[in-house]
Amino acid sequence: MVIPGDGIGPEVVASAKQVLEASGANIEWVEVQAGKSTLEEFGTPLPEHVLDTIREVGVALKGPITTPVGKGFTSVNVAMRKRLNLYANVRPINSRFGTSDKFSDVDMVIFRENTEDVYAGLEQDIAPGVAQCLKIITKEASDRIAIFAFDYAIRNGRKKVQAVHKANIMKKSDGLFLRSCREIASQYPEVEYGEIIVDNCAMQMVIRPQQFDVLVLTNLYGDILSDLGAGLVGGLGLVPGANIGDGMAVFEAAHGSAPDIAGKGVANPLALILSAANMMKYLGEPAIAGSIERAVISILGQKDKLTMDLGGRSGTKEFTKFLIGTMSSIG
Ligand code: NAD
């Protein structure tokens, strides 16, 4: 199924669907909308039928959805992940799918816990001028994201998993997360385990990102460091993502609805196209994913053919056409 989303969502979703169709993927699309547009029609940005359809179909390709800043409705993205228990947010940061001149050998995967932390939505004004936000960390959620990261490491021949934390300050909450990671790590002796404090991790990612392999983080740190990671390989227009739960998955780019460029026809659809390729792997179609990925890699060096965020001159539609042409010529 597909959720076009807000802002640049419908533009990049249309592009990814075209690429999938051209790749030979046999997909019957069920389209439902969520976000700003459904607020008027259904009185909520996340109608129940959207969640029911995801449960029924099991796999979705989703455009970004806008969340008002400092007021208005709470995040549809966060609510969807929590309601469907899509506990693992997976964001691969890979120079092969990047355009950076600085780093050509970054290859890390970020596993961000997707259902709790300060995203639990537990905030209140406790006195004039004093607001409180609760950070919720549970053993259950910490264990399952750590297991997910280690299982991925084993399946994909990854050597090292590092837990990213601030347990020197948040001894209870991040301390619990860290204890979970340590306990799970002890069950995977074939994978090296390490720990790194989040601020140091941010600095190390900027100066020597090649050292990182698999990172497992709580929700907020994962959100911030995955955007940092996107910056290392060329920008938010390039980094795919997936929200995975038990028997259900929603594939979406790491970027948001980019209201500053929405409707201008200039959005870079690559992050969603790569998310769609990962969706095909999840669906047991690695050959289709491979043909999309090979075409992407082969055009990334042709700067003028890329979208403007990557220094090129193409709009979304032109770029999509070029990518499809490349895919059919290289097979
Ligand atoms: P953003 O990712 O939308 O944009 C940040 C910057 O990157 C902007 O300058 C934007 O133009 C650029 N950018 C992002 N994607 C791009 C693309 N595909 N091509 C070219 N340029 C691109 O982040 P933001 O501005 O902080 O957030 C905007 C809205 O998106 C907010 O309402 C936020 O809550 C929402 N958001 C949604 C999701 C999601 O749906 N999963 C994720 C992040 C942010």
- How many Å apart are CA 111 and CA 177, to the nearest integer? 13
Q: Ligand 1 centroid to 257 CA: how many Å? A: 5
pLDDT tens sequence for the chain (331 residues): 999 999 999 999 999 999 999 999 999 999 999 998 898 889 999 999 999 999 999 999 999 999 988 888 889 999 999 999 999 999 999 999 999 999 999 999 999 999 999 998 899 999 999 999 999 999 999 999 999 999 999 999 999 999 999 999 999 999 999 999 999 999 999 999 999 999 999 999 999 999 999 999 999 999 999 999 999 999 999 999 999 999 999 999 999 999 999 999 999 999 999 999 999 999 999 999 999 999 999 999 999 999 999 999 999 999 999 999 999 998 7
Helix (H) / strand (E) containing 112: strand 107-113
* Closest residue CA from atom 13 of ligand 1: 258
Output the DSSP codes for 303-328. GGGSBGGGT--B-HHHHHHHHHHHHH
Tokens found for residue 172: 């209870």
Residue 305's pLDDT is: 95
Tokens found for residue 269: 């659809």
Q: Is 280 in the pocket of ligand 1 (CB under 6 A)?
A: no
Q: Ligand 1 centroid to 4 CA: how many Å? A: 14
| Residue 89 DSSP code | E
Our mutation pick for probing the ligand 1 site, out of 236, 314, 316, counting the most ligand atoms within 8 A of Cβ, is 236
- How many Å apart are CA 258 and CA 6, to the nearest integer? 9
* Closest residue CA from atom 39 of ligand 1: 64
Helix (H) / strand (E) containing 61: strand 59-62
Max CA distance (Å), the chain: 64
Residue 36's pLDDT is: 87
Beta bridge partners of 87: none
Residue 207's pLDDT is: 97
